Amino acid sequence: MTKGDVGSLGEELVQNFFDNNFSKVFSFFRPTTSDREQVADLLVWMNRFVFLIEVKTRDQGIASIESWSKSRIEQARDQLVRNFNRIKSNEKINIHNNYYNIQLLSDGLSSIIGIIILVTDEGFYVAPGKIVTDIYNQEFPIHVFTMKDLEKMIIEIDTVSDFLYYVSDRKKYLEIADISLNSEMNAIGYYKAHNNAFPVQATDFRTNNYWELYKQNFTNEIELRNRHNLKSGWIDKLEVLFVKNRKLYEGIPLGLYYAWELGSISRRERAYLGEKIESVQDWFNDGHLSRRFAWLNSISGNWIVFFFSIGNEKDIEKGLIRLCRLKLIKEMYFNSFKYGVYGLAFQVSSLYPHRLLGVCLPTLLALMIIFVIVFI
């Protein structure tokens, strides 16, 4: 097998990992410029955030693992810097997956994050900042992980927004000290045990078994959390429900806007929203005819309005649009709101016991209303 074959296998391994554990909707494999220059092995686009991912796979060469790691991290760093500059200069970037074939809107991005993933079966501890001294001193943040660590991390970090929160906090710690490759789970153990916070001083995650301590000391809490997280399946399903909606708004399919909005919700937030959605049946069984609540997405800055009603489709549509308009006007007037309001309306059966029949999807962005309806 050639080096090229080995590299391709590693890239496809990482692509499958992100597709299966985060989302296929906003993961784009091997994006290119208009002159067919590859911009990344994988690009993950979440509205105003982009992850540029470079994958380096260990071949059967004679170089030591430390020497190989150094050369591959340097190579990936140079690729990330070059492609970061392409995006910042608004160069045309073509991206595609099974759902969309579109262009990256570079001028709307607020954050670009570089990720280097080393694929190897060898167990080793190498501090990326020690062997490549400028890796953390770039114009944008860069993080280095092994594939082994990524596969283990998914136990605790399994949404793009949770990953974004983690690497944002991780970046601050990297200003103090490095995290050696293959010690990420101990870093996560400390982070989770301390309410999603890294140490304020240098800590050796290689020798301190924080991951096992976290599991032992928080066994009951983890069990309760995982049980509650099962309710998050409501949002997981909604995230991919509207991908077939390809009507464009500012060059982007509306289905992708909804995938972004729902996909940017963290796992714990999804569980909270899922719990509220599940409680609707009892609400209607008690004789109520409608229910609504709004939720502010801390990642996007947008509001999501949830509306549940017994009635015909047209009345539900009108009711939801009215609620979205009122929410937008209120936020603009009282809070100088500058983002958008998304609406999700659920049709509820008029027969006891009441159940959800379908979902209506209007989008309210700024002062423009775009309306689509999908039934499940």
Per-residue pLDDT in tens (0 to 9) along the chain, 376 residues? 455 556 688 889 888 888 888 888 889 999 999 899 999 999 999 888 999 999 999 887 768 999 999 999 999 999 999 999 999 999 999 999 988 888 998 888 889 999 999 999 888 899 999 999 999 999 999 999 999 999 999 999 999 999 999 999 999 999 999 999 999 999 999 999 999 999 999 999 999 999 999 999 999 999 999 999 999 988 888 887 777 777 777 777 878 888 888 889 999 999 999 999 888 888 888 888 888 999 999 888 889 999 998 878 888 888 888 888 888 888 877 777 777 888 888 888 766 655 555 565 444 433 333 333 333 3
Q: What is the pLDDT of residue 375?
A: 35
CA-to-CA distance for 157 and 145, rounded, in angstroms? 14
Q: In what order do the strands lie in the sheet with 368-374?
A: 290-296, 303-310, 340-348, 356-365, 368-374
Q: What is the pLDDT of residue 245?
A: 72
Q: Indicate where the chain has its CATH 3.40.91 domain(s).
A: 3-217
Q: What is the pLDDT of residue 231?
A: 94
Q: What is the pLDDT of residue 3?
A: 54
CA-to-CA distance for 143 and 167, rounded, in angstroms? 8
Q: What is the pLDDT of residue 369?
A: 36
Inter-residue contact 172 to 166 (CB < 8 Å): no
Q: What is the pLDDT of residue 242?
A: 75
pTM of the model: 0.88
Q: What is the pLDDT of residue 355?
A: 59
CATH of domain 3-217: 3.40.91
Cα angle 355, 268, 361 (rounded to 5 degrees) comes to 45
Q: What is the pLDDT of residue 247?
A: 75
Q: What is the pLDDT of residue 353?
A: 57
Provide the token pair at 240. 């991919």
Q: What is the pLDDT of residue 362?
A: 45
Q: What is the pLDDT of residue 334?
A: 78
Q: What is the pLDDT of residue 6?
A: 60
Residue holding tokens 């597709």? 19
Picking from 220, 151, 149, the residue whose alpha carbon sits closest to that of residue 186 is: 149
